[in-house]
A = this chain, B = another copy of it.
Amino acid sequence: MGCAPMGHILYDEVMKYNPKNPYWFNRDRFVLSAGHGCMLQYALLHLAGYDSVKEEDLKTFRQWGSKTPGHPENFETPGVEVTTGPLGQGIANAVGLALAEKNLAARFNKPDCEIVDHYTYVILGDGCQMEGIANEACSLAGHWGLGKLIAFYDDNHISIDGDTEIAFTESVDTRFEGLGWHVIWVKNGNTGYDDIRAAIEEAKAVKDKPTLIKVTTTIGYGSPNKANSYSVHGSALGAKEVDATRKNLGWPYEPFHVPEDVKKHWSRHVPEGAALEAEWNAKFAEYEKKYKEESAELKTLISGELPTGWDKAFPTYTPESAADATRNLSQQCLNALAKVLPGLLGGSADLASSNMTLLKMFGDFQKDTPEERNVRFGVREHGMGAICNGIALHSPGLIPYCATFFVFTDYMRAAIRISALCEAGVIYVMTHDSIGLGEDGPILMLRPADGNETAGAYKVAVLNRKRPSILALSRQKLPQLPGTSIEGVEKGGYIISDNSSGNKPDVILIGTGSELEIAAKAADELRKEGKAVRVVSFVSWELFDEQSDAYKESVLPAAVSARVSIEAGSTFGWEKIVGSKGKAIGIDRFGASAPAGRIYKEFGITAEAVIAAAKAVC
């Protein structure tokens, strides 16, 4: 494998880690971007003594239930830092890991006690280099001067369709120089071990820039007939070629056999890792004595335990409180949380002043002010999401949030999907919503209607550290509605008003976000006409689904089929809630350019429409 020397040198000589405690805080982080050389990583973990990858695991590569899926996944295999399947995600995750280190080091290190100090290494290939997300993340890494990020570019000239000459002839070196990186070229990556070692030393010496080490290699190095061809990219060599390769490389052993001298050589990593960790523990004990407050804070970041009483910090609202856009209410929540959650940090993709995501008590995280917590991502939505995944997976107590307009979730969907897959509790603050589809899979989609619901949405988001949350927030002002509550939001859907009795309303009106107000208005009118009307706020489908059947029946009784939903988005999926006899009001076309009030009217997202629909169904 062309990238073997880099991985080998890193795990065997350069990195600090403890195989018996893969999650020891101050270890160096290692990311294989994409599935790049995933078998290599498993083999290295195995050699180094990680319990997570045994010989059987290597033999069951890509099989059901194994610890060695085709792409390394952090939640499957201890020792794997992040989940990097799709191309370009890994390098962006690595930027997030390096950002986290730089931020924590600046906040917690003391002149007499450096408690945070590790490198982030990443190996990426040609495919990752072609992806736009990689350029976005690397532009930020250069801007932030992430000097402890060291990326190996495995320059093997082969991607799935063959020689990269057919689609990728740019000068990567020059591009990275433009991005503000230090660039080193190792011309013989197959056997040039000393050159690789020297490059790592040089990279470490450059403290104000991330380093790209371009390592020119031969894919399938050692295979006499398949080296340097795309046929070794994602496929096994086959028995015959494996034999030929063994002969060529002078490797006489059985498959999966680790010779005794190799075992002996690698076995030192267990005691060395334990010693490294012990050394750090001792240093931290000293730190704890000297710096009580800081050490307590850092411990919550390492453990992920939320500080006691954190949720008392939320602002509360009554119907008398001023009408406001949920994006503004969101800012009040974020700023309240920043005071009590040391792990909260994040920002927007060049829309901070629109998304309302600035933490007023902090400055910008920048090259020379890395202790600050407002992150300026620029117009790089996809990179932003993947960087936040890296931050979230750096330490359990780090709670990254990121923001853009709701419609631009399309730009970052792959990163959001990976958040869900890799259990990264990123908080996605999506404003100016015109809500599209409910998200698929384990992502919490929350669309609060006012201040109490926005606070509730943040409470849910903070509590869900293993799944991402998307908050869809309004640009326009919304009134504080009677009946809304944090507790209600925690159930996903709940009754905000009802003039019926016996759980038998004539009709149930279901609203979300900015349309809950419309549902409430329609209910007022219908009640004047003598109808028994229930209004349900449906903040999160996913949370509601998780409630007990009894609770669901208490909110949406099966016997009441007269139901109307209203949401200024696609009606796709609403049939499940309103049933075949109900009616879903929404927008099943593209939007238009006009002031908001006019748009709502033109698209029929109005109380009148709800009233008409309610009369039609009951």
Q: Which residues of A contact B (CB under 8 A)?
A: 62-66, 69-71, 86-88, 126-128, 130-136, 139-140, 142-143, 159-161, 164, 166-180, 230, 348, 350-354, 364, 366, 376-380, 382-383, 407-408, 410-411, 413-414, 417, 420-421, 436-438, 440-442, 570, 572-573, 575-576, 579-580, 588-590, 592-595, 598-599, 602
Give min CB distance, A426 to chain B, whole Å.
16
Instruction: Write the chain B residue with the least CB distance to A354.
Output: B160
* Complex contact B573–A572 (CB within 8 A): yes
Give min CB distance, A527 to chain B, whole Å.
28
Instruction: Write the chain B residue with the least CB distance to A129.
Output: B379
Give min CB distance, A445 to chain B, whole Å.
12
Closest 7 A/B residue pairs (Cβ): A132-B132, A174-B178, A167-B378, A69-B593, A175-B178, A64-B594, A410-B414
A86 and B598 alpha carbons, distance in the complex (Å): 23
Given contacts A161-B350, A179-B175, contact A594 B62 (CB under 8 A): yes
Instruction: Write the chain B residue with the least CB distance to A377.
Output: B167
Besides A87-B379, A169-B180, A580-B580, 6 new A-B residue pairs in contact (Cβ under 8 A), listed by A number? A132-B135, A143-B168, A161-B348, A166-B364, A167-B378, A441-B590
* Complex contact A70–B143 (CB within 8 A): no
Partner of A167, one of B376, B382, B588: B376
Count of this chain's copies in the oligomeric assembly: 2
| Chain B hits for A167, CB < 8 A | 140, 143, 350, 376-378
Partner of A353, one of B65, B161, B353, B572: B161
A71 and B593 alpha carbons, distance in the complex (Å): 9
* Complex contact A127–B161 (CB within 8 A): no
A169 and B180 alpha carbons, distance in the complex (Å): 8
| Chain B hits for A589, CB < 8 A | 441-442
* Complex contact A379–B130 (CB within 8 A): yes
| Chain B hits for A593, CB < 8 A | 62-64, 66, 69-71
A442 and B195 alpha carbons, distance in the complex (Å): 55
| Chain B hits for A599, CB < 8 A | 64
A611 and B163 alpha carbons, distance in the complex (Å): 49
A166 and B168 alpha carbons, distance in the complex (Å): 31
Given contacts A177-B178, A352-B161, contact A380 B590 (CB under 8 A): no
18 contacts between A and B (CB under 8 A): A86-B411, A130-B379, A131-B136, A131-B411, A132-B134, A142-B169, A161-B353, A174-B178, A175-B175, A175-B179, A408-B414, A411-B413, A411-B414, A421-B590, A442-B589, A442-B590, A579-B580, A580-B580
* Complex contact A376–B590 (CB within 8 A): no
Give min CB distance, A499 to chain B, whole Å.
27
* Complex contact B172–A178 (CB within 8 A): yes
A139 and B166 alpha carbons, distance in the complex (Å): 12
| Chain B hits for A366, CB < 8 A | 166
| Chain B hits for A136, CB < 8 A | 130-132, 135
| Chain B hits for A174, CB < 8 A | 174-175, 177-178
* Complex contact B132–A350 (CB within 8 A): no
A181 and B350 alpha carbons, distance in the complex (Å): 27
Given contacts A421-B590, A437-B437, A594-B63, contact A143 B131 (CB under 8 A): no
A561 and B130 alpha carbons, distance in the complex (Å): 50
Give min CB distance, A611 to chain B, whole Å.
24
A533 and B341 alpha carbons, distance in the complex (Å): 59
| Chain B hits for A177, CB < 8 A | 171, 174, 178
Instruction: Write the chain B residue with the least CB distance to A169.
Output: B143
| Chain B hits for A126, CB < 8 A | 379
* Complex contact B179–A379 (CB within 8 A): no
Give min CB distance, A472 to chain B, whole Å.
15
| Chain B hits for A135, CB < 8 A | 132, 135-136
* Complex contact A378–B139 (CB within 8 A): no
A602 and B128 alpha carbons, distance in the complex (Å): 32
Given contacts A161-B350, A170-B142, contact A378 B580 (CB under 8 A): no
Partner of A159, one of B164, B179, B378, B595: B378
* Complex contact B598–A64 (CB within 8 A): yes
Give min CB distance, A164 to chain B, whole Å.
8
Instruction: Write the chain B residue with the least CB distance to A571.
Output: B576
| Chain B hits for A437, CB < 8 A | 437, 440, 572
Give min CB distance, A130 to chain B, whole Å.
4
| Chain B hits for A441, CB < 8 A | 570, 588-590
| Chain B hits for A176, CB < 8 A | 178
| Chain B hits for A139, CB < 8 A | 130, 168, 170
Instruction: Write the chain B residue with the least CB distance to A70.
Output: B593
* Complex contact A438–B572 (CB within 8 A): yes
A115 and B119 alpha carbons, distance in the complex (Å): 58
| Chain B hits for A70, CB < 8 A | 593
A173 and B180 alpha carbons, distance in the complex (Å): 12
Give min CB distance, A323 to chain B, whole Å.
23
| Chain B hits for A570, CB < 8 A | 440-441
Give min CB distance, A212 to chain B, whole Å.
12
A87 and B382 alpha carbons, distance in the complex (Å): 12
| Chain B hits for A178, CB < 8 A | 170-178
* Complex contact A170–B179 (CB within 8 A): yes
A229 and B134 alpha carbons, distance in the complex (Å): 30
| Chain B hits for A383, CB < 8 A | 132
A87 and B131 alpha carbons, distance in the complex (Å): 16
| Chain B hits for A414, CB < 8 A | 408, 410-411
Give min CB distance, A367 to chain B, whole Å.
9
Tell me which of A378, A380, A441 has the highest count of chain B C-beta atoms within 10 A of its own C-beta: A378
| Chain B hits for A66, CB < 8 A | 593
Tell me which of A71, A440, A593 has the highest count of chain B C-beta atoms within 10 A of its own C-beta: A593
* Complex contact B131–A132 (CB within 8 A): yes
Give min CB distance, A255 to chain B, whole Å.
20
